[in-house]
Amino acid sequence: VLFPTTVTLHPGELTVLSGPSGSGKTTLLSILGLVLRPTEGRLRLDDRDITDLPETAAATLRLHSFGFVFQQPMLIEGLSVRENILLAVAMQGDRPTAAAQAKTMALLADLGLEGTAPLQPRLLSGGMKQRVSIARALVKDPAVLLCDEPTSALDAESGQAVMQILKRIALEERRVVVVVSHDARVFPYADRLLKIENGRIVADTRERYTS
């Protein structure tokens, strides 16, 4: 349950939603991603009210404007790294074009995954798998990137690498990036930290960190 609140998220910022289990942070993330509908209030994207979109229209908007990164990478064994990423393009109803193939390879290079395109996910480390999931989210060029505990299953070094990537994506690519986490090691990467307790935002802190 979330109590009434107003939150405006800005391109170029990495916002962290923090709070104990059951506080409402994942519920808020699900509402932001059109996975859940709010029972009260309005949801807007670029001045467009998207609260009451029909489910088909909401699903289309999710596919084209939102990228999702989860606690577990959720890669499909039996598909190569390249095929896992291009699956996001296929889900949009598009055939993977030469441009999509080139973008996939560019993302892999940008994320430090050169040479992994033909590999099966089982051959990758946990941190590498999570970076593949970030590439899968970015290949469709979403305006909003929503990440649910993206570092919780990773060791400290891999988690740091993932957060550095997410920070750079927000800053350099001017995307809205939201990260749900209760891991204090994530906080230094935040441009904005929203603390949620019992369904209420109890603190909203903006600060530029260097990381």
CATH number of the domain at 54, please.
3.40.50.300
Q: What is the pLDDT of residues 60-84, one digit of tens each?
A: 999 999 999 998 999 999 999 999 9
In 3D space, the residue among 173, 177, 81, 210 whose CA is nearest the CA of residue 133 turns out to be: 81
Which DSSP letter does residue 206 get? E
Residue 128 lies in a domain: yes
Domains contained in the chain, number: 1
Residue 83's domain spans which residues? 14-206
pLDDT at residue 194 in the model = 94
Residue 5 lies in a domain: no
Residue 82 lies in a domain: yes
The residues, ordered by sequence, that sit 6+ positions from 146 with a Cβ below 8 Å of its Cβ are 29, 32, 33, 66, 67, 68, 69, 178
Residue 7 lies in a domain: no
pLDDT at residue 175 in the model = 95
For the cut 80, the answer to whether the pLDDT of residue 123 exceeds it is yes
Residue 1 lies in a domain: no
Residue 3 lies in a domain: no
Residue 115 lies in a domain: yes
